[in-house]
Amino acid sequence: MVDVSAVMSALSAQRIELPSWAFGNTGTRFKVFAQPGVPRTPQEKVDDAAQVHAFTGVAPSVAVHIPWDRVDDFAAFAAYARERGVSIGTVNANVFQDDDYRLGSVANPDPRVRAKALSHLLECVDIMDATGSADLKLWFADGTNYPGQDSITARQERLAEALAAVYARLGPGQRMLLEYKLFEPSFYTTDVPDWGTSLVHCLALGPQAAVVVDTGHHAPGTNIEFIVAMLLRAGRLGGFDFNSRFYADDDLMVGAADPFQLFRIMHEVATAGALHPDAGVAFMLDQCHNIEPKIPAQIRSVMNVQEATAKALLIDTQALAAAQQAGDILAANAVFMDAYNTDVRPLLAELRTTMGIDPDPITAYHRSGYAEKIITQRIGGTAASWGS
């Protein structure tokens, strides 16, 4: 039997981090479709993120991307966020948008470029000190396009050297989260292409380094929950960048393409007891809303994670373990699917009511008038986008 009150308390303790860049204009290499009312400043992105938290109750932090969210005074920026009921979360470094990085950043053959990239990463730790952020998230576009272009081994050496220098700069409560991505923008080799590479570097660095699983960064058909289970077992799952993919790194709303996969992932997390914020797994969204309205898309994404989590928590673990032990394949699968096929929306509506928020976050947001307000107020200036 499932203890529903324990499920409710786990769901109310859940925390999901929002990406500042989800609120800016984005698109593909073909076109960025500008939307009215989009934030012009990092502060306005925080304002929008605070709305998502206000209507969901479980999204109290916002990840920033440097330099897109550069401000003069990061401590004041953190205070600004706190006044709006949220905090500044993970600091994402960006060493992929400068002409100098044509041949890579920390793995570039040119020591001058490597030093420049390293100094940006160290600056990101300074920013963490000012904002009180615990996590530095590193994703490298580094790699090569053609066989023979550079030495695979030499690039790993350069990467390891830079990571060690950043790791040495971390304070006691700070972590380095190393993200991997199969390909793009590099098409032949990527320097951190998979969880194994990331894990090898993290293990060499020490306990404050952990792997980030961006759900969109895998080949089609990859069993992501297996990777999650392995990283949890090794104590090196630093967190998720949640999003959905149909084809490549689509960055669509989490749970939109494959809610069953998200459920299977959350089952591994729940089984390992890693759902609670204290467990050290950061549940972040990394999404771009190219054509849909951004704030409700973020609300929907948070709700999708909650629904997958609720279903995972509804698995009758005793019945599952008994069926597994008995080798009863069909019974075990039935226990699993019963939970997945449960409509958890009434349960989550009840949870929201007990949390003092509207049981229907999307409708409540639309009713609030915030979307109309930002369209009339945010006139002039430059709308935030990937470059700002």
Q: What is d(CA 268, CA 279) in angstroms, rounded to the nearest whole number?
A: 13
Window 230 to 249, contacts with Mn ion (CB under 5 A): 241
Nearer to ligand RM4, 170 or 212 (CB): 212
| Cα distance between the two ends of the chain | 51
Tell me how far apart the alpha carbons of residues 156 and 162 are, in angstroms, rounded to a whole number: 10
Which of ligand RM4, Mn ion, none has residue 92 at its interface (CB below 5 to 8 Å by kind)? ligand RM4
- Least separation in angstroms between CB 284 and ligand RM4: 8
Q: Identify which of residues 37 and 216 has a Cβ nearer to Mn ion in the complex.
A: 216
DSSP 8-state code for residue 207: T
Q: Which residue is nearest to ligand RM4 (CB)?
A: 139
Question: In the complex with Mn ion, which residue's Cβ is closer, 213 or 351?
Answer: 213
Residues 6+ apart with CB under 8 A from 231: 195, 199, 210, 211, 213, 237
Can residue 92 be called a binding residue for ligand RM4 (CB under 6 A)?
A: yes
Q: How far is the C-alpha of 113 from the C-alpha of 345, rounded, in Å?
A: 51
Cβ atoms 107, 161 nearer than 8 A: no
17 binds, among ligand RM4, Mn ion, none (CB under 5 to 8 A by kind): none
Instruction: Select from 48, 150, 286, 307 the one that contacts ligand RM4 (CB under 6 A).
Output: 286
Q: To the nearest whole angstrom, how small is the minimum distance from the Cβ of residue 91 to ligand RM4?
A: 11
One of 135, 191, 214, 307 touching Mn ion (CB under 5 A)? 214
For the chain, the maximum distance between any two Cα atoms, rounded to a whole number of angstroms, is 66
Q: Which two tokens stand for residue 183?
A: 């390909």
As measured in angstroms, the least distance from the Cβ of 68 to ligand RM4 is 9
Stretch that binds Mn ion, among 9-17, 20-28, 62-70, 208-216 (CB under 5 A): 208-216
CB of 137 to ligand RM4, least distance (A): 6
Structure tokens at 60: 């109290």
Q: What does 294 interact with, of Mn ion, ligand RM4, none (CB < 5 to 8 A by kind)? A: none
* Alpha carbon distance 102, 280 (integer Å): 35
Contact pattern from residue 334 through residue 373 relative to ligand RM4, giving x for each residue in contact according to CB under 6 A and a dash for the rest: ----------------------------------------
Q: Mapped to the 3 state alphabet, what secondary structure does 121-175 carry?
A: HHHHHHHHHHHCCCEEEECCCCEECCCCCCCHHHHHHHHHHHHHHHHHHCCCCCE
> Which of the 8 DSSP states describes residue 314?
T
92/261 with CB nearer ligand RM4: 92
Residue 142 engages ligand RM4 in binding (rule: CB under 6 A)? no
DSSP structure string for 322-388: HHHHTT-HHHHHHHHHHHHTS--HHHHHHHHHHTTS-S-HHHHHHHHTHHHHHHHH--SS----TT-
Residues 207-236: x where in contact with ligand RM4 by CB under 6 A, - otherwise, as a string: -------x----------------------
Structure tokens at 380: 């002039």
**d(C-alpha 66, C-alpha 3), whole Å:** 43
Count of residues that interact with ligand RM4, criterion CB under 6 A? 9
Question: Which residue reads 């490298």 in tokens?
Answer: 140
Of residues 286, 300, 307, 358, which one binds Mn ion by CB under 5 A?
286
Beta carbons of 258 and 246 less than 8 angstroms apart: no
241: contact with ligand RM4 by CB under 6 A: yes
Q: Which is nearer to ligand RM4, 7 or 93 (CB)?
A: 93
Between residues 63 and 232, which has the closer beta carbon with respect to Mn ion?
Answer: 63
Upper half-sphere CA count for residue 2 (Cβ side, 13 Å) = 19
Q: Minimum distance between the CB of residue 348 and Mn ion, rounded to whole angstroms?
A: 26
Q: For ligand RM4, which residue of 44, 48, 179, 268 counts as binding (CB under 6 A)?
A: 179
Site for ligand RM4 in 49-68 (CB under 6 A): 65
Least Å distance, CB 139 to Mn ion, is 6
Contacting residues toward Mn ion, per CB under 5 A? 214, 241, 286
Q: Which residues bind ligand RM4 (CB under 6 A)?
A: 65, 92, 139, 179, 181, 214, 241, 249, 286
